[in-house]
């Protein structure tokens, strides 16, 4: 472990405070004083999750409407199950070049960059394994239990032989991008492209961009735990984002509050989608190199300048584990992380110490 980051070894203390839902949330009592300022808020079901939007300033209503429309567009565009989507067509034509829109091209390029820099811990071709394990997320279906985590009942791990059969077809090196021709292809016909670990973060970036285009400079976007805050609160102070406790001992238990402006805060957790079999928890965060879910980290929060980065990196760090994950995050400029192990140990990067207040 590097010296540059400090690892706090602490037992996560359970408690009884109030926040619901996934990953990260705004602190309930921290709602901005927006008297006299035009504001709009919206809760929409989109991208397979509950989107919570708040915007402050002139034109807030129209801005928020435009964000909802943008999120709906992205739900269709990035869904690997929608027959018209670029991702669907790339997967269906595996082996052949497929012309895609500039957005898909750019997101594929970004996903591949992150796959390379994380040495494959994040891998946009992990979908066949996700399906085999039964952790499929269908963006236009309603969440099973409101916006809460999904404990999948009655599941058991797949056969090891099945996992080993799929492993050779998982690998970001099978994804090729032809920039000039705006084309993508999968060189292994059994490989599949999926943006599940990055799409909500990208959508949060798009939401922020739409808000800014509408002249909004104070807003809060929460896409089921993938948060982007535009500017600070209307009074200019930082937004305060509570990080959900991975093993809550009461409703809305959280581990700490991160104060940020103009940042994305994304949490991945082993409690979001999982099942238990013979006393072992199997979560949706899969190590693409072994084909098995990671079992070391319960909660991974990444703060970054973009949601795309924060989302993909949170998934990657989940696979890297505590030590490697912290070392990796510490090596990236402007990116911070707070990790909680399944054993309750907590670790954070040096910059995170300055922005987080842990619950005592
Ligand atoms: P997130 O909620 O952003 O942590 O993403 C989790 C989703 O990403 C899972 O439900 C899978 O569909 C997919 N996924 C799981 N493991 C990986 C991985 N190592 N790399 C890329 N995507 C993954
Ligand atoms: Mg992710």
| Residue ranges of domains in the chain | 1-360
CB contact at 8 A, 19 and 354:
no
pLDDT band at 223 (very low <50, low <70, confident <90, very high): very high
Strands of 150-151's sheet, edge to edge?
A: 150-151, 273-277, 280-283
**What fold characterizes domain 1-360?**
T-fold (3.10.520)
Distance 63 CA to ligand 1 centre (A): 30
Query: For ligand 1, what atom is nearest to the CA of residue 198?
Result: 3
The alpha helices in the chain, defined as continuous H runs, are 60-78, 86-92, 102-117, 127-133, 160-166, 199-213, 307-320, 322-330, 350-355
Is residue 140 pLDDT above 80, yes or no?
no
Mean pLDDT throughout 220-241? 97
pLDDT band at 24 (very low <50, low <70, confident <90, very high): low
Distance 219 CA to ligand 1 centre (A): 27
Ligand closest in space to the Cα of 80: 1
**Four-residue CA torsion sign, 341, 346, 351, 357:** positive
Instruction: Name the percent of the chain in helix, strand, coil, to the closest 5.
Output: 30, 25, 45
CA distance 44 to 140: 12
pLDDT band at 148 (very low <50, low <70, confident <90, very high): very low
pLDDT digits (tens, 9 = 90+) for 153-195: 778 999 999 999 999 999 999 999 999 999 999 999 999 999 9
pLDDT digits (tens, 9 = 90+) for 63-101: 999 999 999 999 988 989 988 899 999 999 978 999 999
Ligand closest in space to the Cα of 313: 2
CB within 6 Å of ligand 1 — which residues?
A: 122-124, 126, 130, 135, 137, 196-197, 268, 272-273, 284-286, 288, 311, 314-315, 319
pLDDT band at 139 (very low <50, low <70, confident <90, very high): low
Q: What is the pLDDT of residue 36?
A: 81
Which whole-number Å values give the CA distances from 250 to 18, 19, 241, 246, 275, in the listed order?
8, 10, 19, 11, 20
Residue 267 φ/ψ, nearest 5 degrees: -120, 130
Q: What is the pLDDT of residue 19?
A: 31
Q: What is the pLDDT of residue 87?
A: 96
DSSP string across 188-236: STT-----TTTHHHHHHHHHHHHHHHTT--EEEEEETTEEEEESS-TTS
Query: For ligand 1, what atom is nearest to the CA of residue 268?
Result: 4
Distance 215 CA to ligand 1 centre (A): 33
Query: For ligand 1, what atom is nearest to the CA of residue 315?
Result: 4
Q: How crowded is residue 249: how many other Cβ atoms within 10 Å of its Cβ? A: 11
Query: For ligand 1, what atom is nearest to the CA of residue 269?
Result: 4
Q: Is 327 exposed, middle or buried (0-12, 13-18, 19+ CB in 10 A)?
A: middle
């Amino acid at each position: 472990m590097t010296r540059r980051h400090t690892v706090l070894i602490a037992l996560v203390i359970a408690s009884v405070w109030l926040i619901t839902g996934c990953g990260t949330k705004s602190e309930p009592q921290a709602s901005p004083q927006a008297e006299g300022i035009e504001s709009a808020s919206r809760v929409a079901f989109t991208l397979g999750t509950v989107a919570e939007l708040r915007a402050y300033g002139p034109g807030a209503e129209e801005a928020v409407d435009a964000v909802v429309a943008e999120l709906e567009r992205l739900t269709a565009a990035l869904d690997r199950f929608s027959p018209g989507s670029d991702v669907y067509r790339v997967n269906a034509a595996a082996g052949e070049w497929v012309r895609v829109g500039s957005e898909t091209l750019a997101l594929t390029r970004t996903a591949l960059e992150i796959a390379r820099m994380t040495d494959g811990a994040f891998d946009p071709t992990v979908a066949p394994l996700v399906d085999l394990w039964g952790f499929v997320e269908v963006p236009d279906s309603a969440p099973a239990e409101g916006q809460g985590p999904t404990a999948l009942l009655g599941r058991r791990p797949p056969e090891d032989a099945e996992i080993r059969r799929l492993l050779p077809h998982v690998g970001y090196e099978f994804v090729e991008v032809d920039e000039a021709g705006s084309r993508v292809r999968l060189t292994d016909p059994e490989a599949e492209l999926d943006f599940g670990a990055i799409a909500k973060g990208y959508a949060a970036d798009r939401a922020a961009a739409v808000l800014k285009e509408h002249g909004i400079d104070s807003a809060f976007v929460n896409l089921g735990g993938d948060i982007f805050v535009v500017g600070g609160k209307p009074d200019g102070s930082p937004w305060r984002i509570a990080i959900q406790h991975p093993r809550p001992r009461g409703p809305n238990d959280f581990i700490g509050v991160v104060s940020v402006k103009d940042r994305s805060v994304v949490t991945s957790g082993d409690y979001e989608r999982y099942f238990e079999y013979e006393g072992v928890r199997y979560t949706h965060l899969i190590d693409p190199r072994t084909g098995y879910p990671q079992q070391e980290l319960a909660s991974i929060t990444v703060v970054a300048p973009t949601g795309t980065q924060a989302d993909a990196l949170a998934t990657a760090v989940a696979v890297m584990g505590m030590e490697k994950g912290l070392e990796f995050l510490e090596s990236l400029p402007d990116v911070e992380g707070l990790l909680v192990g399944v054993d309750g140990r907590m670790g954070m990067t040096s910059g995170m110490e300055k922005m987080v207040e842990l619950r005592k």
